[in-house]
């Protein structure tokens, strides 16, 4: 069992947890992810790593309640435990393998969308620890959904906060902010974008135009996370890759986002079904048009 | 009764079992087992033993069953096999022990597999455990992977007194026995979990959720954690796809994914959270045991199922018994047929598959007649799900993170057959990680040989 040593609500439906998993913490690097399974009946859920503490043997995860499983996860408290917690999975960020002197020469910009701020944080923190300063654009739909602003401020060079509705910071999306920065004379050698698939797609369309090499971190459906099933396969530059072992980070300009987004929808009705079962329990008798209960 | 024929084994009716995930074969009862055991001629120079990759004393345990000494029969089995309840169910006996049985020349061979299963099931029902080592020798050995190879190697080493820890990447031990072979052939909580309990009762520790190559390495285990030898039994779990257009569509799965969702994650049971596609019309591409398992699973989830295979029935690599069961249950076999494209609708979902008819050409160097396309014979199958079951290859995760470990061009670890030794001192390997996808019993045989190899290596130190 893997005990939850800390739980914190970051925003509506967004939670942070520190989980004790010494073997994972010992080997973890920025860019990697974990898979958690709550209990016997639970499914395996891939989650990005927000932070890790090798001494304390803990991993920090951040998740948003989007379906039945994450809603069930939300009910776990400090002192409760995950039955299974496996990682670190996937390849570490390429930055960790780049010579520091080379990194210091580079102008890097991160674009974090929504919960994507969580996996951006360890990369920026790692760079900061190596004496490399980079720009960070973090955006959310609205002020209330913004997470980890204080933490990011401590490790980022310039931090630009955006909200889609203008309720806080720059009014607009991460792409608008990047465009403005470039128009104002900023130049970047590398962009790293992590967030919803559609946001990463639009960042890539823009950076291609601006001629900035771009890395994205994909979040397809996964089962085992060790390369044995191919549920997470994505097309990158006409090659089929398994995001769990070849990624999750890829050259964003080569990713087939439209296909990846379609594949992400595969179990939409299944997810809707288990969500309804969870919220309505025995009182659910169909009629929602999704669950087949009305047939 | 006809002494030339096997005592028939009771099975669930095809129409009934096609709707449930319970075990198809019900096995022998005491009387049936003793009667079948009575058919054994107790050969002096027993050929059946030579056909068994772990060389079980077959006449020995069969005669003990004949005499009603079921506990003795189980102990005889467990001297050679760590997983008799599994092997009795999933070994291709027709090409191994039973294929060599003298009775088989004029009639049907002795039903060795069903007798092995009977003795193991009887022992489990009567809480009989295998015999642990009298004393520990204090040497630490790590085993990577808890499939048939790893469990066998660990079990054998523990019996010799070694302090063994198995590291397993998934959340449950068992490898293909848990995620691959379905419940209706190999019950999980009843049979597999109990066999693994038996291995643990020998003193073997199992750490799940540890992906060696990610959370630590083999070098780390040896240099930092005090393991003096390591056995790699990580299998061949990397699925192959065809590389045809449309293969990334929604509704196209590897057999590994489909079976893992169903078997390991228990997607077929309401109370489990993992979803699975319940297709209406499913094609399984391939003809091996995994293809049969995927097809029969899809059938039980309510689909009409086609097995699409490019050669003819005689070349089907699956066990005869499985093909027979699949046909009885209503699986449709589209033989001499090969997919050329998966047809996708505007939302990215599978709507069909274009196939081409094949005919068998001249035999190649290996003696197999290779299929060639019949020009102009393309046709479309209407489908909503396609399951690719084209075989698997070893995952390069371990070989790529272990210094000095030689692999061949198929990414299989190079190891000596008689003792499992690899190019790296103290590191042994066996099973599918070495051979590529093969059978449970061959993996067990390799685990056994490596246990002996490790013992010789560490005693000679």
pLDDT digits (tens, 9 = 90+) for A58-71: 999 999 998 888 89
- Chain B contact set for A231 (CB, 8 A): 253-254, 257
Q: Is the pLDDT of residue A295 over 80?
A: no
Q: Is the pLDDT of residue A283 over 60?
A: no
Q: Is the CB of B261 inside 8 Å of chain A's CB atoms? A: yes
Distance from CA of A215 to the nearest CA of B (A): 22
Q: Is the CB of A20 inside 8 Å of chain B's CB atoms? A: no
Q: Which residues contact A90 (CB under 8 A, 6 or more apart)?
A: A31, A32, A33, A225, A243, A244, A245, A247, A248, A249
pLDDT at residue A292, as a whole number: 41
Residue among A226, A259, A278 with most chain B CBs within 10 A, to mutate: A226
Token representation of residue B57: 């004393």
Q: How far apart are CA A23 and CA A242, in angstroms?
A: 24
The pLDDT of B27-41, averaged and rounded, is 96
Phi, psi (degrees; rounded to nearest 5) at B81:
-130, 135
B residues 343-372 lying closer than 8 A (beta carbon) to A: 347-348
Q: What does R_g of chain A's alpha carbons equal in angstroms? A: 19
Which helix (DSSP H) or strand (DSSP E) does residue B354 occupy? strand B350-363
For residues B341 and B381, the answer to whether their CB atoms sit within 8 Å is no
Token representation of residue B70: 């079921």
| Contact state of A228 with B271 under an 8 Å Cβ cutoff | no
Angle at the Cα of A147 from the Cα atoms of A214 and A220, rounded to 5 degrees: 45
Phi, psi (degrees; rounded to nearest 5) at B277:
-70, 120
Angle at the Cα of A57 from the Cα atoms of A53 and A60, rounded to 5 degrees: 55
pLDDT digits (tens, 9 = 90+) for B223-244: 999 999 999 999 999 999 999 9
Angle of helix A197-210 relative to helix A257-264, nearest 10 degrees?
170
| Contact state of B209 with A229 under an 8 Å Cβ cutoff | no
B residues 165-194 lying closer than 8 A (beta carbon) to A: 169-171
The pLDDT of B46-69, averaged and rounded, is 95
DSSP H stretches of helix in B24-91: 30-37, 47-51, 58-66, 70-80, 84-90
Q: Which residues contact B138 (CB under 8 A, 6 or more apart)?
A: B163
The pLDDT of A88-98, averaged and rounded, is 94
Q: Which of A68, A229, A235 sits opposite B248 (nearest CB)?
A: A235
Q: What is the mean pLDDT of chain B?
A: 93
What torsion do the CA atoms of B190, B191, B197, B198 make, to the nearest 10 degrees?
Answer: 140
Window from A13-27, A177-191, B4-18, B266-280 with minimum mean pLDDT: B266-280
Token representation of residue A47: 């989650």
Q: Is the pLDDT of residue A282 over 80?
A: no
Residue A242's DSSP bridge partners are: A233
Token representation of residue B365: 């160097």
Centre a 10 Å sphere on the Cβ of residue A253 and count the other Cβ atoms it contains: 16
pLDDT at residue A281, as a whole number: 57
Residue among A70, A224, A265 with most chain B CBs within 10 A, to mutate: A224
DSSP H stretches of helix in B160-315: 176-179, 193-201, 218-223, 255-259, 289-300
% of chain A exceeding 90 in pLDDT: 83
Q: How far apart are CA A113 and CA A219, in angstroms?
A: 13
Q: Is the CB of B379 inside 8 Å of chain A's CB atoms? A: no
pLDDT digits (tens, 9 = 90+) for B348-402: 999 999 999 999 988 877 777 889 999 999 999 999 999 999 999 998 888 889 9
Chain A with chain B: Cβ pairs closer than 8 A: 115
Distance from CA of A42 to the nearest CA of B (A): 5
| Contact state of B215 with A26 under an 8 Å Cβ cutoff | yes
pTM for this model (two decimals): 0.91
Q: Smallest Cα–Cα separation from B171: which of A112, A129, A225, A207?
A: A225
Q: How far apart are CA B109 and CA A115, in angstroms?
A: 63
- Chain B contact set for A87 (CB, 8 A): 211, 214-215
Please report, for residues A286, B140, B408, B417, the alpha-carbon distance to residue B405 in angstroms, rounded to integers and kept in the order given. 57, 21, 10, 16
Q: How far apart are CA B58 and CA B52, in angstroms?
A: 9
Q: How far apart are CA A192 and CA B64, in angstroms?
A: 68
pLDDT at residue B35, as a whole number: 96
Q: Smallest Cα–Cα separation from A194: which of A261, A263, A117?
A: A117
| Contact state of A27 with B215 under an 8 Å Cβ cutoff | yes
The pLDDT of B295-307, averaged and rounded, is 96
pLDDT digits (tens, 9 = 90+) for B148-177: 999 999 999 999 999 999 999 999 999 999
A residues 88-107 lying closer than 8 A (beta carbon) to B: 88-89
Pick the residue from chain B with its C-alpha nearest to A263. B250
Q: Smallest Cα–Cα separation from B236: which of B186, B289, B176?
A: B176
Q: What is the mean pLDDT of chain A?
A: 90
Token representation of residue B204: 């073997």
Q: Is the pLDDT of residue A284 over 80?
A: no
Q: Which residues contact B204 (CB under 8 A, 6 or more apart)?
A: B154, B155, B158, B164, B165, B166
- Chain B contact set for A270 (CB, 8 A): 275-276
pLDDT digits (tens, 9 = 90+) for B417-437: 999 999 999 999 999 999 998
- Chain A contact set for B253 (CB, 8 A): 230-231
Please report, for residues A99, A108, A197, B301, B315, the alpha-carbon distance to residue B367 in angstroms, rounded to integers and kept in the order given. 54, 59, 50, 38, 12
% of chain A exceeding 70 in pLDDT: 91
DSSP H stretches of helix in B224-359: 255-259, 289-300, 320-329
Q: How far apart are CA B264 and CA B281, in angstroms?
A: 23
The DSSP bridge pattern shows strands B205-207 and B229-232 to be unpaired
Give the sign of the dihedral formed by CA A220, CA A225, CA A226, CA A228.
negative
For residues B76 and B64, the answer to whether their CB atoms sit within 8 Å is yes
């Amino acid at each position: 069992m893997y005990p939850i040593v800390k739980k914190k609500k970051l925003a509506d439906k967004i939670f942070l947890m520190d989980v004790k998993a010494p073997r994972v913490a010992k080997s973890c690097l920025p860019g990697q992810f974990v898979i958690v399974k709550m209990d016997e009946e639970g499914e395996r859920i891939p989650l990005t790593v927000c932070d890790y503490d090798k001494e304390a043997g803990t991993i920090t995860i951040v998740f948003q309640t989007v379906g039945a499983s994450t809603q069930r996860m939300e009910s776990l408290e400090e002192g409760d435990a995950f039955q299974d917690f496996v990682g670190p999975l996937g390849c570490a960020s390429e930055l960790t393998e780049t010579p520091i002197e080379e990194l210091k020469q580079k102008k890097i910009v991160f674009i974090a969308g929504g919960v994507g701020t969580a996996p951006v944080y360890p990369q920026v923190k790692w760079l900061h620890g190596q004496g490399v300063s980079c720009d960070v654009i973090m955006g959310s739909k609205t002020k209330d959904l913004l997470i980890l602003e204080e933490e990011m401020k401590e490790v980022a060079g310039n931090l630009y906060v955006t909200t889609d509705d203008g309720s806080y910071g720059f009014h607009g999306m991460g792409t608008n902010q990047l465009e403005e920065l470039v128009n104002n004379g900023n130049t970047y050698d590398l962009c790293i974008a992590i967030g919803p698939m559609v946001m990463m797609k639009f960042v890539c369309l823009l950076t291609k135009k601006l001629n900035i090499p771009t890395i994205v971190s994909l979040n397809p459906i996964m089962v085992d996370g060790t390369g044995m099933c191919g549920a997470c396969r994505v097309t990158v530059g006409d090659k089929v890759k398994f995001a769990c072992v070849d990624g999750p980070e890829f050259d964003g300009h080569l990713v087939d986002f439209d296909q990846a987004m379609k594949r992400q929808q595969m179990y939409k009705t299944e997810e809707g079904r288990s969500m309804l079962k969870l919220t309505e329990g025995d009182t659910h008798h169909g009629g929602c048009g999704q669950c087949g209960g009305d047939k | 009764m006809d002494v030339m024929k096997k005592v028939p084994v009771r099975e669930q009716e095809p129409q009934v079992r096609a709707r449930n995930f319970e075990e198809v074969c019900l096995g022998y009862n005491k009387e049936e087992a003793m009667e079948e055991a009575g058919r054994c001629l107790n050969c002096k120079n027993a050929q059946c033993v030579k056909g068994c990759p772990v060389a079980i004393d077959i006449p020995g345990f069969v005669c003990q069953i004949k005499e009603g000494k079921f506990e003795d029969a189980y102990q005889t089995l467990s001297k050679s096999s760590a997983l008799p309840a599994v092997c009795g169910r999933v070994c291709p006996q027709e090409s191994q022990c039973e294929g060599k049985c003298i009775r088989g020349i004029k009639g049907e061979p002795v039903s060795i597999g069903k007798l092995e299963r009977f003795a193991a099931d009887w022992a489990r029902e009567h809480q009989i455990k295998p015999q642990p080592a009298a004393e520990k020798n204090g040497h630490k050995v790590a085993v990577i992977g808890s499939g048939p190879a790893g469990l066998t190697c660990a079990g054998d080493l523990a019996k010799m007194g070694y302090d063994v820890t198995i590291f397993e990447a998934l959340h449950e031990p068992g490898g293909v026995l848990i995620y691959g072979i379905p419940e209706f052939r190999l019950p999980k909580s009843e049979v597999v979990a109990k066999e693994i309990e038996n291995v643990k009762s020998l003193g073997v520790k199992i750490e799940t959720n540890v992906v060696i190559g990610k959370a630590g390495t083999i070098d780390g285990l040896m240099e930092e954690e005090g393991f003096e030898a390591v056995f790699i039994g990580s299998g061949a779990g990397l699925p192959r796809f065809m590389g045809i257009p449309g293969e990334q569509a929604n509704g196209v799965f590897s057999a590994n994914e489909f079976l893992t969702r169903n078997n390991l994650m228990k997607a077929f049971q309401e109370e489990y959270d993992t979803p699975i596609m319940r297709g209406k019309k499913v094609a399984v591409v391939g003809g091996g045991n995994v293809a049969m398992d995927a097809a029969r699973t899809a059938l039980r989830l309510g689909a009409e199922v086609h097995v699409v295979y490019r050669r003819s029935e005689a070349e089907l690599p699956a066990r005869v018994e499985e093909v027979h069961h699949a046909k009885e249950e209503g699986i449709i076999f589209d033989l001499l047929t090969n997919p050329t494209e998966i047809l996708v609708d505007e939302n990215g979902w599978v709507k069909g598959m274009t196939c081409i008819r094949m005919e068998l050409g001249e035999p190649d160097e290996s003696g197999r007649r290779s299929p060639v396309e019949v020009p102009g014979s393309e046709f479309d199958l209407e489908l909503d799900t396609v399951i690719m079951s084209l075989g698997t290859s070893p995952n390069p995760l371990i070989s790529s993170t272990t210094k000095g470990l030689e692999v061949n061009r198929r990414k299989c670890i190079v190891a000596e057959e008689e003792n499992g030794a690899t190019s790296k001192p103290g590191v042994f390997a066996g099973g599918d990680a070495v051979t590529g996808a093969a059978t449970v019993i061959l993996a067990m045989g390799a685990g056994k040989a490596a246990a002996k190899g490790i013992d010789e290596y560490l005693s000679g130190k």
